Chains A and B, each alone.
Chain A
Amino acid sequence: MQIKEIMLKEVISVKRSTNLRQLLKIFAKFHIFPLVPVVEEDNRLVGIVSFRNLTNVFQPPRPEILKTVPFLDEEEEDIFKADFTEEIGDLVVVEDIMETKFISIQEDASLEEAFKSMKLHLKEEVPVVDKAGRLVGIVGIFDIIRQVFRQKGVIK
């Protein structure tokens, strides 16, 4: 069985230019902040925003390029002392906080492959793309587990 048969096809995605306020508003009614795919006009997947990236807003900017630099001190984030005003809602856009190096899964991958990859990368959910790199869905570990329950007849 392939991932495209069990993935969730209606995905809420955002653009690079979506600002922080809009982003928070879209997911205001969610229990937790989900994994949000970032797509171009042609639906090509270019990044993801997760809860972890949201907390980056509280830290001074740390360009991705510094990831490879050895011996940098980690900066503790104190979200209660952050000194920003409401304008940050307009100023920060998705492009500033999204991750461009992320794990995605091809739509024709098998459930076993997808499960293995998610376990290896410690991901609970990942975006699904077609051959051209366009976003076609999202799949979570729970979707795979549910499919196994279904196959065993636990649920119909």
Chain B
Amino acid sequence: MNTILGLGFILLAGLLSARLISKIKFPAVTAYLALGIIIGPALFKLVPKDILDASGLISNIVLGLIAFSIGQNFSRDNFRKIGKSVIWISVLEACGAWILVTLTFLIILKQPFYISLLFGAIASATAPAATVMVIREYRAKGNFTDTLLGVVAIDDAWCLIIFAISLAISQAIHSQILATSFLIKVFFNSIFSIFGAFVLGGVVAISLSYLSKVLRTQTELLIFTLGFVLLNIGIAIWLHLSVLLATLFLGAILVNIDKSPFKFFDSLKTIDSPLFLLFFVLAGANLEIGILPKLGLIGLTYLVFRIIGKVIGASLGARISKAPESIKRYLGLALIPQAGVALGCALIAKSDFPNVGGMIFTTIIATTVIYELFGPLCTRYALQKAGDITVEPHPS
């Protein structure tokens, strides 16, 4: 199959599979991922090699677009609105999964520190799509639902920050054989990667905002915004800075300095859906089925301790912010699904650490499929226990 035929096939098959899966109330992302696994090299081998080889490129672009969009959350206005509870809970559930998974991989599974840290960082992500779908399906309403929505909206921002920091540390550790100046080097490499990303995002945001005065039409706005986001990603790669943070900062700084920043974010929304579809299908297609049987213990540990970390973290956050008892008890359970951001981070880990990346990525895909299947059930259980839904789904 030639490349263009392959692209056409992936887009149309993706559309069809999303339609089918919506009948049984799963989000489109699950359909794309499953489609990728089925048509990928592991099973039917229908994805052309050119497209598979472009996985790294596409995931960098898609994650850049996502990080840019997530940056919008950092407006002063938004922080005022979302409130103390949501901030405490989201920060602590993300950190809870990060720390607990890192420690169990390090201590129980005896994995090297840099691998443990990467698994831990990826564990901090959640997938809002499945959670939001359950909330909509059952028309959940109430304090618990509001807090949950706030948490899923903001927590990928924390995940991107956690992953960027962990990646910088892992790279520094990995590239350096034990030496006297080891820790200092790790520290400076990480600081450079993160602080540099902040400076780059800031400079690009100021230029983007200043130069946008010349724009006259929607078409120009779209080309201009996409151009700047790609420029930002490209410079970050070139200077070995954190791509995720550079683009997150671009969005976050832009939203605070521009007078009407939302036009930039909205314009990109018109083109992102086919890219997202391709990203998920390729994620599924990158599954290395040969590694799967060897992953038993690693996969199981990841599955279990990520949930425990989230539950403890969310509960602690709720306690500190004096949230109601139902939130303290059940909110963590509603945060189980994982998908896009986790897969994207795993793809980055795969391309940065070729020797262990395949293992990390395959674990994340396999656990994503499992989480996406039973995560919504846990979300529903949590919403029921909190009293925000009655048992019957909404008929529409």
Footprint of B on A, CB under 8 Å?
60-61, 63, 65-73, 75, 78, 81, 83, 101, 103, 116, 119-122
Bound together, the chains give a CA A116 to CA B213 distance in angstroms of 10
Which residue of chain A has the shortest Cβ distance to B154 in the bound complex? A65
Give 28 CB contacts A-B under 8 Å. A63-B150, A63-B153, A65-B81, A65-B150, A65-B153, A66-B128, A67-B72, A68-B72, A69-B132, A70-B65, A70-B69, A70-B272, A70-B276, A70-B340, A71-B27, A71-B28, A71-B129, A71-B276, A72-B132, A73-B22, A73-B27, A73-B28, A73-B129, A83-B394, A103-B260, A119-B217, A120-B216, A121-B263
Which residue of chain B has the shortest Cβ distance to A66 in the bound complex? B153
B278 interface hit (Cβ, 8 Å): no
Interface membership of chain B positions 338-358, coded 1 if the CB is closer than 8 angstroms to chain A and 0 otherwise: 011100000000000000000
Within 8 Å CB of B149, what residues of A?
63, 65-66
9 further contact pairs, Cβ within 8 A, besides A63-B153, A73-B28, A81-B396 = A63-B146, A63-B150, A66-B153, A68-B265, A69-B152, A70-B70, A71-B339, A73-B18, A73-B129
B44 interface hit (Cβ, 8 Å): no
User: Considering the complex, which residues of chain B in the window 214-240 have a beta carbon less than 8 Å from any beta carbon of chain A?
Assistant: 215-218, 221
Q: Is the CB of B153 within 8 A of A70?
A: no
Footprint of A on B, CB under 8 Å?
18, 22, 27-29, 65-66, 69-70, 72-73, 78, 81-82, 127-129, 132-133, 135-136, 139, 141, 146, 149-150, 152-154, 156, 215-218, 221, 260, 262-263, 265, 272, 276, 339-341, 394-396
Bound together, the chains give a CA A51 to CA B70 distance in angstroms of 28
Within 8 Å CB of B156, what residues of A?
69-70
Within 8 Å CB of B260, what residues of A?
103, 121
B220 to chain A, nearest CB (A): 8
Partner of B153, one of A68, A81, A120: A68
Bound together, the chains give a CA A101 to CA B75 distance in angstroms of 12
Within 8 Å CB of A67, what residues of B?
72
Bound together, the chains give a CA A66 to CA B65 distance in angstroms of 16
Which residue of chain A has the shortest Cβ distance to B269 in the bound complex? A67
Q: Is the CB of A120 within 8 A of B29?
A: no
Within 8 Å CB of B129, what residues of A?
71-73
Q: Is the CB of A120 within 8 A of B217?
A: yes
Known: A60-B139, A66-B132. A83 touches B395 (CB 8 A): yes
Within 8 Å CB of B394, what residues of A?
60, 83
Within 8 Å CB of A65, what residues of B?
73, 78, 81-82, 149-150, 153-154
Q: Is the CB of B153 within 8 A of A75?
A: no
Interface centre among A66, A69, A70 (most CB of B within 10 A): A70
Q: Is the CB of B127 within 8 A of A71?
A: yes
Within 8 Å CB of A73, what residues of B?
18, 22, 27-28, 129, 133
Partner of A120, one of B18, B263, B339: B263
Within 8 Å CB of A120, what residues of B?
215-218, 221, 263
